[in-house]
Amino acid sequence: MIRSSITPIILAFVMVCMGVLVLRRREPDLARPFKTPGMPWVPILGAVICLAQMAGLPLETWARLVIWLVVGLAIYFWYGRHHAERLREAGSSDAAIAAD
The 3-class secondary structure across the chain, one letter per residue, is CHHHHHHHHHHHHHHHHHHHHHHHHHCCCCCCCCCCCCCCHHHHHHHHHHHHHHHCCCHHHHHHHHHHHHHHHHHHHHHHHHHHHHHHHHHHHHHHHHHC
Q: Cα(71)–Cα(18) distance, rounded to whole angstroms?
A: 23
| Per-residue pLDDT at 97 exceeds 70 | no
Residue 3 is predicted with a pLDDT of 56
- pLDDT given at position 86: 79
- The reported pLDDT for the residue numbered 10 is 92
Tens of pLDDT, residues 38-81: 999 999 999 999 999 999 998 888 898 999 999 999 999 999 88
